[in-house]
Structure 1
Amino acid sequence: MTVHDRAGTPARDEDLVDVPALLAAYADTHPDPKIDVQRVAFGTSGHRGSALDGTFNDDHIAATSQAIVEYRAAQGTDGPLFLGRDSHALSEPAWRTAAEVFTANGVTLMIDARDGLTPTPAVSHAILAANAGRAGGPGNGLADGVVVTPSHNPPRDGGFKYNPPDGGPAGTEATTWIANRANELLEAGLSGVQRTARIDAQRYDYLDAYVADLANVLDMDAIRDAGVVIGADPLGGASVDYWGAIAERYGLDLTVVNPAVDPAFGFMTLDWDGKIRMDCSSPYAMASLVSRMEQDAPFRIATGNDADADRHGIVTADGGLMNPNHYLSVAIGYLYRNRPDWPAAAAVGKTAVSSSMIDRVAADLGRTLLEVPVGFKWFVPGLRSGEIAFGGEESAGASFLRRDGSPWSTDKDGLLLALLAAEITAVTGKTPSEHYGELTARFGTPAYARTDVACTREQKSALGKLDAGDVTATELAGDPITAKLTRAPGNDAPIGGLKVVTDTGWFAARPSGTEDVYKVYAESFRGPEHLARIQAEARDVVAGALGS
């Protein structure tokens, strides 16, 4: 990965998207469904694109909203639909497009009572609250939701994701059906899309419902009583009003570091590649907050969230910005020891490319480890049933159960994980960074990295279809291979690539969804030099498995 020479420095005027041009393109550009990249396509977190590229325009959202109407009808989902949006420039017009289509189709629409921004976890929380005690099936009034957000992606981007009645990200079966139907509607010139200029909706106070319920999932009294000094940076996103409300309701010593909302996100520092990106796990995107902590800011804990607040970034006065894998390991160790009412058999959920430090923590806790493919959707059934109490992924997304062991949210919750850092500090007297130091003293210090390897489209396709038997290698970086995985051990679902494991390290190779590269995630408990060797040999193992 080549780091841009201005990474971590404040954005300049020339870095900013032309917001009027972006909005004009949303309305005026009509995608051509014969061009693959201009079709509706759902990734792990919905359909994303930019109006400037003809990949996120009014036509896309109208067609996708109509497809969701038809999908929910086919599933017997006849309750309200909770609709939220983040602060990206394209989110407001896309929200309006969706609302007009939903209204025309007679959907009971729930919009923000304050006409404000809505974090993804607040929508998930609302869906679960509405569906509590309801059985599935037509006539039972089950609710679902849509969040208009491209998450942490650049200001030129838009995103649109569907959350079914389970409250979490829609699974592949649902998103495939919705995308296929949306593309049929695009091909038909939007014939079949019902739409009205009038929006008919009910008001729902997402902020109050979410904030008032936090004491049932976190020890807010402990945070207040310990006087933990907190700085919260919304990074211009949907959590901006939530942090002030949390501080006021619970009497916390919490400062909203930057309350500005700007669709161009001109206050950001540039990410590793020179782009503006609200990635709260990136030391470059978080450079302003990290610098403030280093300059004797009064905060003991500082936090960041991406634009829809489903991701978290944790900065401590003693350790700087924490690697997401490090914080997940600490959070798991703390929670399973400090939630006595959680189900005794509840497993620890992690994605296949998350750190093996989590494996060691889970084993030390005596808990089952549930390892699943990349994508938070895989944690949804377990979080609903209590089969897992915590689900987290290496990209700084996680959620967990309420203190009584019942579901809180089934989508990633960056506010929750940020506040947990303050609870950990309040209850134990140590920051998450200090706790991670104790973990490395016990289990070793892992070196972890992700790199990209150039490949052809044919190789990408083949990598996604590999079988474990295609791997002929018996050693990796001097150690015997103990597992060759193309399916996740936790749920036997395809991981969309290959994972090779030894006692001291591992690598996972997955094809990129947008570029002609495959991503190599790797980790070693024997240090950076051993990690480099794993990364180098990973290419040979993959090439051998692909027969190239």
Structure 2
Amino acid sequence: MHERAGTPAQSQDLIDVDSLLGDYYDRVPDPQIAEQRVVFGTSGHRGSAADTAFNEAHIVATTAAIVEYRASQGTDGPLFLGIDTHALSGPAMETAIEVLAAAEIDTRVDARGGFTPTPAVSRAILVANGAASPTGLRTSGAGLADGIVVTPSHNPPRDGGFKYNPPHGGPAGSDATSWIAARANEILTGGAWKHVKRVPYERAKRATCVQPYDFMAAYVAELPSVLNLDAIRDGGVRIGADPLGGAAVEYWGAIAEEHRLDLTVVNPNVDPRWSFMTLDWDGKIRMDCSSPYAMASLRTLMDGGDAPYDIATGNDADADRHGIVTRDGSLMNPNHYLAAAISYLHGGARPQWPADARIGKTLVSSSLIERVAKSLGKQVEEVPVGFKWFVPGLLSGDVTFGGEESAGASFLTHDGRVWTTDKDGLIMCLLASEMLGTTGKTPSQIHAGLVEDQGQSWYARLDATATKAQKETLKNLSPKQVRATELAGQEITGKLTEAPGNGAAIGGLKVTTADAWFAARPSGTEDVYKIYAESFVSAEHLEQVKDAATKVVSEALDN
């Protein structure tokens, strides 16, 4: 824990934007160096231009690879292109458009020349492919759309990110990302990227194949199909929405105006240095709306009896994550909010949803979700970390709700159709106000009721820095490395390296008992590893579980 965690950023914490943009164009990666290759994690390729990990060459090569990949798949419809507010996103978008225009790809860019949340891109892809039509979503045939989102999500300001969403609208699976990354690295080798056909940006943006698309108008207008906005308005719920300097900055004002909500944009500022942020746990600026340190300003605003809002919300830079702060000034643990949301949605708020559909959760989300689902008579589909695992179920309507421990989720429309197949922090934030407007209870009060019924759990996530070699070691943890038969005084009931819901590798290890569990895995987005742990016994018992988990990880890294 950094000594200044939760305190306002100071001048020495801020990036030099001009230097970073210079690095984007000046530094040329060597694909023989592992850290400079194109690597897709759980949500695209990420890195910093200052580390020669996210540079012009990377984007030229990756875009060219995507052009080839979509052709190989027969994807010949429009490609929707969105960006967030990171400093590197603008240059990367321009580079991508140069390549796309030269390849004569039908590319749709924001009509307002602004920023585009990830869920708005996902929704645009799905609508173009028929999700809102009477005949329903198409998954094959000519004219299918796909998309690119230029974002490193909640990562620090120095980072850039580039992810591909195929026609299903969600994060690309490993079959696609492996192919794209391998081809991109081939194009990087020997400077071949310099020979990729491009059109100068000023000419490319005027090309007939590059057309404007009003992402915001389309997304905002369709919100009543997935949310009960009347309940928010009629209930007089006062909302404070903080986009944390991200892509949702204009969306919140548009939502308030079009749907006549009592909603104030708490902080409308956009600054690629994020100078208005408070520092995260490790002293970095990180737009993690699930972090009490990054959300310190909003928590302070809501702390006390005279809080100006009933519900305050935060989003990360591309608005695919959510943070919920209630009137007592507390930031809800993402697991608590997921459980409360599931209880509310399946407790009568969505009567048209299919009765036999499942609830999706990741392997490292709270077991409270499983207890709530059982009480509702619902089955849970437990999958590895990564929202891509929820895509098939959301598309078919067999999964009504998919949620991740890291504060990312989406759910079906009122009539049981797919809304987005990528995380949607906007609807999850608005759902908190719907819950209050409908029930008179905040999500934290609903969670308190669940604790009374299902028992209290203590949950923790530990983050620590790790080298790429250490991350690879943790990714390949084996049940054999846990020799104990007990965990914190309870018999071990499972040592998992595959997710029960789909049998996919979890990229780490999960150990369970009747009342506790821990999981260890490397991050797919940053050079850190994560330990998750939960106990339904006590806070002291949780500490014992964490100690046991830390020992397993330490022994693995020492060997």
Distance of 2:287 and 2:529 partners within structure 1: 23
Query: CA contact under 8 A between 1:149 and 1:308: conserved in structure 2?
Result: yes
Shift in alpha-carbon separation, 1:514–1:444, aligned structure 2, 3 A? same
One-letter amino acid matched to 1:224: R
Partner of 1:28: 26
Shift in alpha-carbon separation, 1:289–1:456, aligned structure 2, 3 A? closer
Deviations 1:174-205 (A, max 9, x none): 01100000000000311552211122211111
2:266 to 225, 237, 257: 257
The secondary structure found in structure 2 opposite 1:320 is coil
Partner of 2:322: 312
1:437 to 444, 448, 470: 448
Shift of 1:545: 8.5
Distance of 1:408 and 1:507 partners within structure 2: 32
1:346 to 349, 353, 357: 357
Distance of 1:144 and 1:109 partners within structure 2: 10
Partner of 2:53: 55
Shift of 1:258: 0.6
Shift of 1:297: 2.7
Distance of 2:101 and 2:151 partners within structure 1: 20
Structure 1: gaps of 5 or more residues: none
Shift in alpha-carbon separation, 1:500–1:237, aligned structure 2, 3 A? same
Shift in alpha-carbon separation, 1:510–1:104, aligned structure 2, 3 A? same
Partner of 2:331: 321
Task: State, as a whole percentage, how many aligned pairs show the same letter.
Answer: 66
1:391 aligned to 2:402? yes
Shift of 1:468: 4.2
The secondary structure found in structure 2 opposite 1:321 is coil
1:285 aligned to 2:294? yes
2:344 to 309, 334, 344: 334
Query: CA contact under 8 A between 2:226 and 2:412: conserved in structure 1?
Result: yes
Query: CA contact under 8 A between 1:473 and 1:541: conserved in structure 2?
Result: no
One-letter amino acid matched to 2:182: N
Deviations 1:337-356 (A, max 9, x none): 21110111111100000111
One-letter amino acid matched to 1:218: L
Shift in alpha-carbon separation, 1:455–1:24, aligned structure 2, 3 A? closer
Deviations 1:126-173 (A, max 9, x none): 0000001464445x1000000001111111111000000000000111
- Greater mean alpha carbon deviation, residues 34-43 or residues 452-461: 452-461
1:379 to 371, 379, 390: 390
Partner of 1:74: 72
2:278 to 260, 269, 273: 269
Query: CA contact under 8 A between 2:120 and 2:215: conserved in structure 1?
Result: yes
Task: Give the 5 Å matches for 1:467-546.
Answer: 467-468=478-479, 471-512=482-523, 518-540=529-551
One-letter amino acid matched to 1:387: D
Query: CA contact under 8 A between 1:506 and 1:524: conserved in structure 2?
Result: yes
Shift of 1:467: 4.8
1:150 aligned to 2:152? yes
Query: CA contact under 8 A between 2:303 and 2:329: conserved in structure 1?
Result: no
One-letter amino acid matched to 1:423: E
Distance of 2:315 and 2:167 partners within structure 1: 25
Task: Give the 5 Å matches for 1:120-131.
Answer: 120-131=118-129
Partner of 1:180: 182
Structure 2: gaps of 5 or more residues: 131-135
Deviations 1:381-428 (A, max 9, x none): 110001110000000000000010000000000001000000000000
1:169 to 144, 168, 171: 171
Distance of 1:8 and 1:545 partners within structure 2: 32
- Greater mean alpha carbon deviation, residues 82-91 or residues 537-546: 537-546
Partner of 2:313: 303
One-letter amino acid matched to 2:394: L
Given the two structures, how large is their TM-score scaled by the length of structure 1? 0.96
1:211 aligned to 2:212? no
Shift of 1:497: 1.3
Shift in alpha-carbon separation, 1:467–1:50, aligned structure 2, 3 A? closer
Deviations 1:27-62 (A, max 9, x none): 111111111101111100101111111111111001
The secondary structure found in structure 1 opposite 2:156 is coil
Query: CA contact under 8 A between 2:485 and 2:491: conserved in structure 1?
Result: yes
The secondary structure found in structure 1 opposite 2:359 is strand
Partner of 2:197: 194
The secondary structure found in structure 1 opposite 2:506 is strand
Shift of 1:455: 8.1
Distance of 2:177 and 2:344 partners within structure 1: 35
Shift of 1:453: 7.0
Distance of 1:284 and 1:113 partners within structure 2: 35
Q: Size of the alignment, in residue pairs?
A: 545
- Greater mean alpha carbon deviation, residues 415-424 or residues 10-19: 10-19
Shift in alpha-carbon separation, 1:26–1:456, aligned structure 2, 3 A? closer
One-letter amino acid matched to 1:226: G
Partner of 2:99: 101
1:417 to 414, 428, 432: 428
One-letter amino acid matched to 2:167: P
Distance of 1:546 and 1:303 partners within structure 2: 38
